[in-house]
Chains A and B, each alone.
Chain A
Amino acid sequence: MSEVPIELGFASTHEWAKQDEEGLIVVGISDHAQDALGDIVYVEMPEVGQQILAGEEAGVVESVKAASDIYSPVSGTVEEVNERLDDSPETVNQDPYGDGWFFKLRANDDRELDELLDADAYKELCESEED
């Protein structure tokens, strides 16, 4: 069963989000998602300064067998993107919740974080999708 850290919020589209020490919202994809995709070969990120709404496409993650859109779990302005993924996209497979983060947003409204699924709810979602 894939890892599901309890401190994160999850979108039903398999992205996770959390608030960091600077108050920015960090976004990535779940362990379940990276496993389903297989070896990741490329990540297309949003532009710094780009404004995204919750649920909007924020980028693309590409493996050999699929290219999946990433949707932003919350609304905000992109402050930073993880440049390490340009040269080492496999980081997403190796450490999806840590070094494999995708981008950081300055959120429009922090409360949107609360609307995300908690770890248990996300685990349930994954289990139901597996059937």
Chain B
Amino acid sequence: MELTKKGSSTIFDLGTFERRAHAQRVEHIEEDSIADLPQDLLRNDVPALPEVSELQAVRHYTNLSKKNFSIDGQFYPLGSCTMKYNPRAAHRAASLPGFLNRHPHAPEKVSQGFLGCLYDLQNILKELTGMKGVSLAPMAGAQGEFAGVSMIRAYHEANGDAERREIIVPSAAHGTNPATAVMCGYEVTEVGVGADGDVDVEELKSKVGPQTAGLMMTNPSTCGVFERQITQIADIVHGVGGLLYYDGANLNAILGKVKPGAMGFDVLHMNLHKTFATPHGGGGPGSGPVGVSDRLLPFLPIPIVEKNEAKDEGDWYSWASAENTRQSIGKLSAFSGNSGILLRALAYALLLGEQGMNRVGEFATLNANYLAARLSQSGFELAYPDRRATHEFIITFAKEAKELNVSAMDIAKRLLDYGVHAPTTYFPLMVPECFLIEPTETEDKSELDGFVDAMKAIREEMLNDRDLVCTAPHTLPVRRLDDVKAARELDLSWSAPS
């Protein structure tokens, strides 16, 4: 079908035998350069990589990019993802040649710039979270969680406490939490969440015991509300000798308002690609630094940067020595994590400063509450109408699903036609047909009002032209895609037409 072919040529379809980007050729190659290599270890096939000119490649990927929604292009209220503006200044700072071209094994004497930056970021993160130590090593939230749970494990082992085999997780938790606990060799047990969105404290009391290694949770929770009984929860878990882990995915709600350290958490991870505005890149890279209280300090993943103030010529930064990190859980990446992302996060912190950081939580919360109020006033159903929204909130379409046979997914797809990226759908799992909406603090009032208008318009359509909503989107490069076909008839890489 003509339409199909033209709109979707892959880079391979555009190629022609022996076409190439000539400017990228490498010259002065001698004929017999590889004669010293054993013939049987050499390649004798020609893999099908693209054979295109430079303009073809540039045009192809430029046009592909235009098929994407992005923060730069659209309002992107994805709950739990914190899609705030990615400051270009941070990208520029991290791309300065001295940083961009640094080899990870460059000796310390020519690395004082980079090491100084990491040291400063460690301190800033400590200050913001109220924790005693920070490691910048984990490369994303999930790795941060792995580090955190591994440290909990190391702590109990160091105490000779071998009976602790369980990690408790709220039923509403993000999937990475139980997946991580299992990766660290733990069993997972769930504790329920009440109708008001708070963890069921009575159930928690019945579930803790000598087998409890720790509890993983976030605050505000994945329900978008503040866990009001956090102090009690901390006491219950600490009371049986367990540790408390904070999933920092929702840190944006409380930045500058409450510190996780003050709430009693022993260990946490942050998501720099959320809270610190580093770019999401179509699925990464992220960065998931961890912070710890005193008792977990010895176990921090390496590398960590130290400052030596004894030298006469001023500050000297170095990697923490092996002796100082003897009990570390170890390395999580070949080098020092997603270093370029760390530099972006530092740039962001420098741009915001003390006051700016304190405002993040305030304005993220203001925007969310405003949006929640307007949507509620327009007739949409809040999942937790008696609670304050934090930086995010949940709407449920359970009523619309039942009465009009329209699902949250349908509404999400129709929003795309209005030029808005849909909020997170169907998470947390326990609220049926839901949207988890997080506007972030970088959106202005008119953008939020525009979103409300779009939602109202779609509700009209649900009543008068149901089909339009249920077969949305209509204005994007593709219409709704066949997921079942994608999973049943796996086509995961291009092959030449026969």
**When A and B assemble into the complex, do they touch directly, with CB atoms less than 8 Å apart?**
yes
Interface residues, chain A, with chain B CB atoms under 8 Å away: 39, 41-42, 62-64, 89-90
Name the CB-closest residue of A to B487.
A41
> How many B residues touch A, CB cutoff 8 Å?
4
A-B contact pairs, 14 of them (CB 8 A): A39-B484, A39-B488, A41-B484, A41-B487, A41-B488, A42-B487, A42-B488, A62-B487, A63-B487, A64-B483, A64-B484, A64-B487, A89-B488, A90-B488
Distance (Å) between the CB of A85 and the closest chain B CB? Answer: 11
Give Cα A64–Cα B488 distance, bound, in whole angstroms.
9
Smallest beta-carbon distance B228→chain A, Å: 28
- Our count of residue pairs bridging A and B at CB distance below 8 angstroms stands at 14
Residues of B within 8 A of A63 (CB): 487
Q: Give the dominant DSSP class at B's interface.
A: helix
Shortest Cβ distance from residue B270 to the other chain A in the assembled complex, whole angstroms: 30
Name the interface residues of B125-146: CB closer than 8 Å to any CB of A: none
- Closest chain A CB from B490 CB (angstroms): 9
Residue of A nearest to B488 (CB): A41
Which chain B residues numbered 472 to 491 have a C-beta less than 8 Å away from chain A? 483-484, 487-488
Please name 5 further chain A to chain B contacts, defined as beta carbons within 8 Å, in addition to the given A42-B488, A64-B484, A90-B488, sorted by A numbering. A41-B484, A41-B487, A42-B487, A63-B487, A64-B487
Residues in B neighbouring A42, C-beta threshold 8 A: 487-488
* Cα distance A39–B484 in the bound complex, in angstroms: 7
- A62–B486 Cα distance when bound, in Å, is 13
What residues on A are CB-neighbors of B488 within 8 Å? 39, 41-42, 89-90
Residues of B within 8 A of A62 (CB): 487
CB distance from B402 to the nearest CB of A (A): 14
* Distance of A34 Cα from B483 Cα, bound (Å): 17
A94 to chain B, nearest CB (A): 13
Min C-beta distance of A41 to chain B, whole Å = 4
Chain A residues contacting B487 (CB-CB under 8 Å) are 41-42, 62-64
What's the least CB distance linking A71 to chain B, in Å?
A: 18
Residue with the greatest number of chain B CB neighbours at <10 A, chosen from A39, A42, A63, A89: A39
Chain A positions within 8 Å of B483 at CB level: 64
Bound Cα distance from A63 to B483, whole angstroms: 10
Q: How far is B487's CA from A87's CA once the two chains are assembled, in angstroms?
A: 12
Bound together, the chains give a CA A14 to CA B297 distance in angstroms of 47
Please, which residues of chain B bring their CB within 8 A of the CB of A41? Answer: 484, 487-488
**How many Å from the CB of B455 to the closest CB on chain A?**
25
- Nearest CB in chain A to that of B489: its residue: A41
